[in-house]
Amino acid sequence: MENPTLEDWKKAGKIAAETLALGKSLVKKGATMLEVSNKLDKFIYDNKAIPAFPSQISCNEIAAHYCAHPKDEIIFDDQLCCIDVGVCYNGAIGDNADTIDLSGKYSDIVKAAQDGLKAALKVVQIGTPLNEIGKAIKDAIASHNLSPIRNLSGHGLDTFNIHTSPTVPNYDNGNTETLKKGMRIAIEPFATNGAGVIYESSPNTIYMLVNKKPVRSLITRNILKEIEKFKGLPFTTRWLTDKHHEGKVNFALKELLQLDIIKDFPPLVDKNKGMVAQAEHSVLVEDKIIVSTKVD
């Protein structure tokens, strides 16, 4: 297992920022979800890194976890598109997101999410309580007469681990745990004109290996060998169907879910179908705060 250095964390953030910039340039009317997603994943590999999770583009009322499936037919037109990309470099993680409004109708929601992120970054330092970050985010989004999504949050980052403690709230949840030197966190505001609460939807195409157990089926064993190559990071169905028959992949995923060997991550949708925008940076808590995914 790699033991990433501070420079590795910076490198992961830099590649993640470059990948996000590419995504923002590619998401335009007439482009396809599948084509853009594949280009983003390829860009990460071309930069000698691996995806920390499959590139995701969640549109309109979908806040997160929409990942193009192998036969995805979505064509960009007038959607509000949350682009979320992550990079793993020598085990270090860079995770960032932003939103593109192809409709031209939701600039206020996009700005609210971005302002929430800016407000959070202003208060981040060693010793900052987590609920103070959440309060800064909520106040900034509320100033636009919009709501943060309360049951989505930022999170800690660790070696080959995209989601770990601490939870970084998007409102004042009362958690006075403080930031400590050496923490790596992702701050991730979501702004919406909807309920501010999400639920799990479908179809799901994102999974993660969580347990290692023996399996009987030869088909499932072969697919599991492929899954193990992702080093415990989230993966998507189309990465498997690139090398294995789709029917075999679906059979194996179903069996692996039943055996609790993998976990699924369905799309997350605002309860009232409100429009959602997202903004995110990765932060390295050192004597001087480093926003690893920020491009100067």
pLDDT in tens, 130-165: 999 999 999 999 999 999 999 999 999 999 999 999
Check 65, 69, 155, 281 and give the catalytic one: 155
- Per the residue annotation, which of 69, 163, 255, 281 is the catalytic one? 163
Note if 188 is an active site residue: yes
Q: What percent of the chain has pLDDT over 90?
A: 98
Catalytic residue chosen out of the listed positions 188, 255, 270, 281: 188
Mean predicted confidence (pLDDT) in 193-218: 96
1, pLDDT greater than 60: no
Is residue 155 part of the annotated active site? The answer reads yes
Taking every pair of Cα atoms in the chain, the longest distance, rounded to a whole number of angstroms, is 56
Q: Could you say which of 41, 95, 101, 255 is catalytic?
A: 95
Q: What is the pLDDT of residue 126?
A: 98
pTM exceeds 0.75: yes
How high does pLDDT run on average in the chain?
Answer: 97
Q: Which among 8, 18, 84, 98 is annotated as catalytic?
A: 84
Query: Per-residue pLDDT for 2 more than 90?
Result: no
Residues 126, 287 contacting (CB under 8 angstroms): yes
Whether 280 sits among the annotated catalytic residues: the reply is: yes
Quick one: CA torsion of 61, 191, 54, 233, rounded to 10 degrees?
A: -120
Burial 24-40 (b: 16+ CB within 10 A, else e): eebbeeebebbebbbeb
- Say how many C-beta atoms besides its own lie within 10 A of residue 181's C-beta: 10
Between CA 178 and CA 131 the distance in angstroms is 9
The whole-number pLDDT of residue 295 equals 81
